[in-house]
Amino acid sequence: MAKGQINVQTENIFPIIKQFLYSDQEIFLRELVSNAVDATQKLKTMGNLGELEGEVGDTTIEIKIDEKKKTLTILDKGIGMTEEEVDKYINQIAFSSAEEFVEKYKDKASIIGHFGLGFYSSFMVADKVEIFTKSHKKDAKAVRWECDGSPNYTLEEDSIQKERGTAIVLHISDDAKEYLEKHRIESLLEKYCKFMPVSIKFGTKEETIQEKTGKKDKDGKEETKEKKVTKDNIINNPEPAWVKMPADLKDEDYKAFYRELYPMNFQESLFHIHLNVDYPFNLTGILYFPKLKNNLEVQKDKIQLYSNQVFVTDSVEGIVPDFLTLLHGVIDSPDIPLNVSRSYLQSDGNVKKISNYISKKVADKLNELFKNDRKSFEEKWDDIKIFIEYGMLSDEKFADKAKKFSLYKNVDGAYYTFEEYLEKIKAAQIDKDKKTVVLYTTNKEEQYSYISAAKDKGYDVLEMDTPLTAHLVGKLEQQEENVTFTRVDGDTIDQLIKKDEDIPSKLTENDEKKLKPVIEEVLPKDKFTVNFVSLSEKDQPMTITQAEFMRRMKDMSAVGGGGMMGMGNLPDAYDLKVNANHPLISKILNEKDANKQKEMAKQAADLAMLSQNLLKGEELSKFIKRSVELI
């Protein structure tokens, strides 16, 4: 029996491990199971290369809990270790067996472990750790290693371990008793080990099967009876869809994998992208487009990052462009650099390359879908448009590609690329400055009267109703020369698209001076500016508008950005446009009874406010009562 001190650079590494090395205590299980998978993969590689004495045989990894002994055991049938290897790879933790193995068998093996310190994460939850191991090498003797969390260890021959492989036995500390609970371990295995490339057993489960009785019923059919059988509970899928070739998968396979990833998500994805590249970096994965609608936040953190099928994190902001975090799915790359705890990304050129590749792949897929089946693409558009808009605003390369497939829907439900749309409206919607005016609505119901007025004039209106609309129209104005966007309720329609001919006003300047204070008196203070405009008699007597610039700045500020701090907190300011040519305005002007004049002005102003959903509470009740009396 040998005793000694672990060769570390500090007197006691274990407090450092517990406090600083690992960001989350629970990942000890991932590290230990990863090591077991690593040992098993090494064995399989040697078997495939004909360098293994004997058969590979069953390689199932097993996790066991013994509540009475307060132990958690991770048992593998992998490559095992000799006494010398235990001393080298466990006691002298500056070395890493995985790295040595990779160097020897590079280009021939897929290895998970790159961190010699992974094993020592076990001391975050254990007072004492034992290793029972027997090497695959001929005539190798089993050995036992024990350490109580100090730098002191015991290493001796062992008579318990008979088979090739390694058992790590954790004597769980009192402050980590949760790791002796079946459901807790089950949840961690589900989180970290769900797709590890070696079968992992955790206990057993009962299943009901149909067993033939040997008898036949009156119709001559074989009779069966239900029988309960106990089977190994294999908790993982060693061959998930993303490790297979796209040519070997059908659409139903992708759908089944989506349900496997998100069992509580009852909505199918719209479509998927299978990533598969081996140069200049290794990357596999499957990304799914969920039905996004207009919710930006609830969709995030649904992409899972793996390294050789070992779960790393679902915070992938550093690996994929921000807009792609709205997608669901899996990315797996051994080339993404991680720190020793695999919890944080480290700065590296490969990360940027991977990010650019994924962005390009997504854009190419969207363009392919658009070109191959535009009708189907249009049907999906409302569910994915916020994702495309987000990408266009945050990634210039994606924005350039998106010009080919990004769509714009008008209020009649017709879809156009931006180029197609400008071609459609350029003849009718040109202002005095020769700019093409794109009219849009952010809410078809609330802005219905304004849309109707525009359509009556022969104009077209786009439906742009996502939280990013204000940002998007600003970007499009910058990109497109001689194009301006304005919301359909930004002004009266004849002011939005200014023509050369002007309609003469029926009111004199003196009339306007007399009428203006009457109207101002019936409006909420400090919120409205009264202006007289010369419109057709058929247009509304009073219309409420909000300046495009101020409203757009407030909208941009509400979702972040816009370049003006605090814009979202500014009070709303509106223009009340009085149609100088409407008969009602002349009637109000000529009314001699001051009370009746005020009542008519109030009714007309309230109607305008009602059309903008600005009439609420007590004022709305008064309006209803007054309307009934007038009837």
The pLDDT tens digits of the residues spanning 492-539 come to 777 777 665 678 889 999 999 999 999 999 998 878 899 999 888 888
Query: Is the predicted pLDDT of residue 119 greater than 90, yes or no?
Result: no
Q: What is the mean pLDDT of residues 205-231?
A: 83
Q: Which domains does the chain have, with CATH numbers?
A: 2-201 (3.30.565.10), 241-359 (3.30.230.80), 407-501 (3.40.50.11260), 511-546+572-631 (1.20.120.790)
Average pLDDT along the chain: 85
Choose the weakest-confidence range: 45-49, 238-242, 427-431. Answer: 427-431
- pLDDT of 337: 64
How many alpha carbons fall within 13 Å on the CB side of residue 446? 15
> How sure is the predictor about 343, in pLDDT bands with cuts at 50, 70 and 90?
low
Distance CA 72, CA 189 (A): 13
The long-range contacts involving 399-404, CB below 8 angstroms and separated by at least 24 positions, are: 399/475, 401/360, 401/363, 401/364, 401/367, 402/363, 402/366, 404/367, 404/370
Which amino acid is residue 160, in one-letter code?
Answer: I
* Gyration radius (Cα) of the chain, Å: 35
How many alpha carbons fall within 13 Å on the CB side of residue 114? 15
Query: Is the predicted pLDDT of residue 24 greater than 90, yes or no?
Result: no
Query: Is the predicted pLDDT of residue 350 greater than 50, yes or no?
Result: yes
Beta-bridge mates of residue 252: none
In tens, the pLDDT along 246-301 reads 999 999 999 999 999 988 877 889 999 999 988 888 899 999 998 876 555 555 56
Are residues 212 and 222 in contact, defined by beta-carbon separation less than 8 angstroms? yes
Distance CA 494, CA 438 (A): 14
- pLDDT of 565: 47
> How sure is the predictor about 569, in pLDDT bands with cuts at 50, 70 and 90?
low
In tens, the pLDDT along 135-180 reads 999 889 999 999 987 778 899 998 877 889 999 999 999 999 999 9
- pLDDT of 489: 85
> How sure is the predictor about 109, in pLDDT bands with cuts at 50, 70 and 90?
very low
Query: Is the predicted pLDDT of residue 627 greater than 90, yes or no?
Result: no
Are residues 309 and 196 in contact, defined by beta-carbon separation less than 8 angstroms? yes
- pLDDT of 16: 53
Sign of the CA dihedral with 31 first, then 33, 34, and 40 last? positive
- pLDDT of 4: 66
Distance CA 395, CA 393 (A): 6
Question: Sheet holding 528-533: strands in order across?
Answer: 528-533, 574-579, 542-545
Choose the weakest-confidence range: 323-332, 361-370, 556-565. Answer: 556-565
> How sure is the predictor about 347, in pLDDT bands with cuts at 50, 70 and 90?
low
Tokens 């849309």 -> residue = 451
How many alpha carbons fall within 13 Å on the CB side of residue 100? 9
Which amino acid is residue 619, in one-letter code?
Answer: E
In tens, the pLDDT along 597-619 reads 999 999 999 999 988 888 888 88
pLDDT above 70 covers what percent of the chain? 86
- Largest alpha-carbon pair distance within the chain? 117
Query: Is the predicted pLDDT of residue 345 greater than 90, yes or no?
Result: no
Give the containing element (helix H, strand E) for 369: helix 349-372
In tens, the pLDDT along 176-188 reads 999 999 999 999 9
Choose the weakest-confidence range: 96-100, 270-274, 305-309. Answer: 96-100
What pTM was estimated for this model as a whole? 0.77
Q: What is the mean pLDDT of residues 352-381?
A: 92
